[in-house]
Structure 1
Amino acid sequence: MSLSEIQTRLAVAAETAGRDPADIALIAVSKQQPLDRVEAVLQAGHRVFGENRVQEAAGKWPDFRADHPGVELHLVGQLQSNKARQAMELFDAIHSLDRPKLIDTFARLAQDMGRCPQLFVQINTGEEPQKAGIAPADTDGFIVRCRAADLPVAGLMCIPPVDETPSLHFALLAKLAERNGLSGLSMGMSADFETAIAFGATHVRVGSAIFGERPAN
């Protein structure tokens, strides 16, 4: 697969759903990818990227941004509280607001820094005990707390269970977002982003289908 093929598939999926492809952000997830592959995608003109770890992003994106203006960087992995300041300095959006402690941390740091990235609340739609995120039943109250802290919540994010039909989880996330007046839906990855688009995804997170399989460690 390649960037151009994924862009074409995104456009077809959007048009099939009666949507404008320009309303869907393709986040190229570059975690653990060789720098030459990332450079190739940048050279092709793509500017929206995702990383899972703050430390990895800090090691490579300042240089890439210096050479390629206009990069928009999204944190799509879980965030440790002690990395929150660095994440807020580095990323334009954070897709993993997944626990009450981070509300307080983001609110305090936003006051100190005078800015805050766009935030997506991660919802554990499958209620999997090993997975981070807010339970669907707790979503409304959590968003109330975020808004009381004056945090810029742009939308919701989910990662469906691998053994369940993703459309059920995408539909649930869309329902929760609509109920809370949120337009952003970060859902869909390499294997299911077209289905996510049919259910209203505004941000899809695609890695290996763009860059190729990650090299073995």
Structure 2
Amino acid sequence: MPSEVGQLIGAAQDLGIDVLGLMAVGPTNEDPIETRSTFRALRALVNEHGLRQCSMGMTGDLEIAVEEGSTMVRVGSALFGNRPSLPR
């Protein structure tokens, strides 16, 4: 929950972990409005807690992530292709 991020960061810092940023994967429903809202909320949390990194966005939602302030994107599918489906 967003309201618990500060407590989580504090607990990590108490353990000597230097929290540099936050990461999120956008919704899988491919709704650009919901994706933008999710990324905007993450960026607000990063700013609120004075963090430097905001990792969000993958190949399919790269443009929205960059527009919303991502500092790190994951574009493996664009570079290496889609992963094969695993048998169920």
Same fold by TM-score, threshold 0.5 exceeded? yes
- Aligned-pair distance for 1:157? 0.5
Match of 1:154 among 13, 20, 32: 20
Number of residues paired by the alignment? 83
C-alpha distance in structure 1 between counterparts of 2:27 and 2:83, whole Å: 22
Opposite residue 51 of structure 2, the aligned amino acid is: L
Is 1:195 equivalent to 2:64 in the alignment?
yes
Secondary structure (helix, strand or coil) at the match of 2:59 reads coil
Opposite residue 169 of structure 1, the aligned amino acid is: T
Q: Deviation above 6 Å: which 4+ runs of structure 1?
A: none
C-alpha distance in structure 2 between counterparts of 1:141 and 1:156, whole Å: 14
Partner of 2:9: 143
Task: State the TM-score, normalized to the length of structure 1.
Answer: 0.36
Is 1:205 equivalent to 2:81 in the alignment?
no
Gaps in structure 2 of 5+ consecutive residues: none
1:52-107 deviations in whole A, cap 9, x for unaligned?
A: xxxxxxxxxxxxxxxxxxxxxxxxxxxxxxxxxxxxxxxxxxxxxxxxxxxxxxxx
C-alpha distance in structure 2 between counterparts of 1:177 and 1:201, whole Å: 10
Gaps in structure 1 of 5+ consecutive residues: 1-134
C-alpha distance in structure 1 between counterparts of 2:85 and 2:6, whole Å: 41
C-alpha distance in structure 2 between counterparts of 1:148 and 1:215, whole Å: 41
Match of 2:36 among 159, 164, 167: 167
- After superposition, residues 111-126 of structure 1 pair within 5 angstroms as none
Task: State the TM-score, normalized to the length of structure 2.
Answer: 0.83
Is 1:179 equivalent to 2:48 in the alignment?
yes
RMSD: 1.5
- Aligned-pair distance for 1:161? 2.1
